[in-house]
Amino acid sequence: MRVARREFLGSAVLLATAGRASAAADENLDYRDGVLRWPGGLARAAGGRAGVSANKKEGDGATPAGTFALVSAFFRADRMSPPRSGLPLRALLPSDAWVDDPVDPNYNRLVSLPYPGHTEPLWLDDPVYDLLVVIGYNMAPVVPGSGSAIFLHIARPDFSPTAGCVAVEREVLVGLMPLLGPASAIAIRM
């Protein structure tokens, strides 16, 4: 495992990064107060503009509180090589989008564009979705209006708040990918 020394919130911390074997990849993540932690590391993270909520609603800008499976991951093959990971991984397509309309029967699901309902495109000009992990929030069962498209993705350079996702630096997310597998989860705490 490669370990990097980085400055974080004014003090040096150690981050475990890529290089660890992915055969036993099932690390759990923990997000609270702008920090994402995992066994052996931590990193600055951005959350929803409305903070963390135990009562998430579509469009409220909150990150949902709870513990959720990490379901799968997507990456932009035109911008990066596929990262090693134990999660199901697929290259994004320009037609990929996520349904965010609570009255749509495909609410909180991946669809292809063109699509008749309202969606959030996943193929963006900026790099925030160059690599994203689907957080299994509101998926089994899907409850209309309880929130959609909750991802772990790349943060903007200024760590501006998200619309409800958790976001970290690109190098941190790339380094986490080999640590994640089918039993990985994220705890999002208030």
Provide CB contacts within 8 A for 45, sequence distance 6+. Answer: 31, 34, 35, 36, 155, 159, 166, 167, 168
Distance CA 152, CA 134 (A): 7
Q: Is the pTM of this model over 0.95?
A: no
DSSP state at residue 82: P
Domain limits for position 96: 2-188
SS3 129: helix
Number of helices and strands in the chain (H, E): 1, 16
What is the rounded distance in angstroms from the CA atom of residue 61 to the CA atom of residue 165?
A: 9
Domains held by the chain: number: 1
Model pLDDT for residues 44-70, shown as the tens digit of each residue: 999 999 999 999 999 999 999 999 999
pLDDT (tens digit per residue) in 82-125: 999 999 999 999 999 999 999 999 999 999 999 999 999 999 99
Nearest to 31 by CA among 126, 156, 151: 151
- At 4, the pLDDT band (50, 70, 90 cuts) reads very low
pLDDT digits (tens, 9 = 90+) for 150-180: 999 999 999 999 999 999 999 999 999 999 9
